[in-house]
Amino acid sequence: MSCVLGIDVGGTSIKAGLFTPDGKLVDVKKIPTGAIDDEKAFAEVCSGLNALVVGGGYLPDDVKAVGLDIPGPVDDQGRVGMLPNIRLDPDGLKLAIKHEFANATLAFVNDANAAALGELWQGSARDLSSFVMVTLGTGVGGGVVCGGRLVSGAFGAGGEIGHITVNKGETRVCGCGRRGCLEQYASATGIVWLYQQACKADGGEHPKPEHPTDTITVFDACRDGDPCAERAIEQMCDTLGYALAQISCVIDPAAYLIGGGVAGGFDLFAEKLAASFRSYCLSTSASARILPCSLGNEAGMYGVAYAALEEAGKQAKQGAADKAE
């Protein structure tokens, strides 16, 4: 009896899914995190993962594969690039997990690419051969699928749409070190910042976000008719729609799938985002659909579990071939 772990590494927590090898989700565990860059943090993560496995009726040695998605570029060899929105030592975490689950094959995948794979494997993209996954969370990521295959690029930066420049006049510095990136306006932190700027300009009394990624307060304020919240969401949609129109000039996907924590407000901004996209895109791309992910915030977990299973399969085939020689 074997199982698979799909681990979604976010900016404020880890969300781990326990799966059967055929893709059935057994259980989910959320593990709050800060920086994941020392032995104490690694031990806390592994303890939470172990509890998830044992609670699901498995033993640590039953774990066949472990996939981790992270908010940054990952090349075809699994090497991790810049991590602008999280403090993470990927090599240290990999060693700790390998020690905890000795029989497991490990795989790192970019978080948006993982979400794209999840939707392609078990979600709303099963019938799509061409789409772009857009994850709106602490940052903004993208996963590009063309001809049914994930496009990660030569250096692992394929789909890093959060760092498309949308405002050359921006003075604030993005987490990547550049200025005017899409994620400064369309991520959870970007939406909260836009709302706070609108409130500051207005000068009146408005609901206050509890933390820098508290889009729930902004969305609730918008539903209550708060003009500053409405303005922030309109600005987000205008900027994101502009960026998607540029992507269509290069990729021309059949659809954009919106995921991540911000997608919880999809009902609020779906029409505005579609209208913005159509106002900026070439007429030939105007029929591209903008859809919510069917797997929601669990898309990354599904996708990275799938990627880990694929890697385990490749290694098993290679091992069999080596023995045959």
* 149/172 Cα distance (integer angstroms): 36
Nearest to 140 by CA among 191, 71, 187: 187
Q: What is the distance in angstroms between the CA of the first residue and the CA of the last residue of the chain?
A: 30
AA letter at 198: A
Radius of gyration of the chain measured on its C-alpha atoms:
20
| Angle, alpha carbons 118-120-124 (nearest 5°) | 95
For residue 52, the model assigns a pLDDT of 96
Domain at 3-110: CATH code: 3.30.420.40
Residue 110 pLDDT greater than 70, yes or no: yes
Residue 79 has pLDDT above 70, yes or no: no
Does the structure show a pLDDT above 70 at 68? yes
Please report how many Cα atoms fall inside a 13 Å half-sphere around the Cα of residue 121, on the Cβ side: 26
Contact 291, 134 (CB under 8 A): no
pLDDT tens sequence across 248-297 = 999 999 999 999 889 999 999 999 999 999 999 999 999 999 999 999 87
Q: Name the residue among 40, 34, 94, 24 with its Cα closest to residue 66.
A: 94
Domain boundaries, the chain: 3-110, 124-293
**124-293 belongs to CATH 1.20.1070.10:** no
pTM assigned to the model: 0.78
Average pLDDT, the chain: 90
Tell me, letter by letter, the H, E, C secondary structure of the chain: CCEEEEEEECCCEEEEEEECCCCCEEEEEEEECCCECCHHHHHHHHHHHHHHHHHCCCCHHHEEEEEEEECCCECCCCCECCCCCCCECHHHHHHHHHHHCCCCEEEEEEHHHHHHHHHHHHCCCCCCCCEEEEEECCCEEEEEEECCEEECCCCCCCCCHHHCECCCCCCCECCCCCECECHHHHCHHHHHHHHHHHHHHHCCCCCCCCCCCCHHHHHHHHHCCCHHHHHHHHHHHHHHHHHHHHHHHHCCCCEEEEECHHHHHHHHHHHHHHHHHHHHCCHHHCCCEEEECCCHHHHHHHHHHHHHHHHHHHHHHHHHHHHHC
Sequence letter at residue 232: A
In this structure, of 46-55, 93-102, 176-185, 313-322, the range with the lowest mean pLDDT score is: 313-322
Question: Are 113 and 149 in contact, with CB atoms under 8 Å apart?
Answer: no
pLDDT in tens, 136-170: 988 998 999 998 888 888 887 888 899 999 999 99
Residue 55 tokens, joined: 């609670």
CA geometry: angle at 73 spanning 69 and 74, to 5°? 65
d(CA 219, CA 124): 25
Are residues 294 and 257 in contact, defined by beta-carbon separation less than 8 angstroms?
Answer: no
* Span 24-34, average pLDDT: 89
Can you tell me the distance from the alpha carbon of 55 to that of 47, in angstroms, rounded to the nearest whole number? 12
Q: Are 233 and 190 in contact (CB under 8 A)?
A: no
Per-residue confidence (pLDDT) for residue 85, from 0 to 100: 58
Q: Are 108 and 83 in contact (CB under 8 A)?
A: no
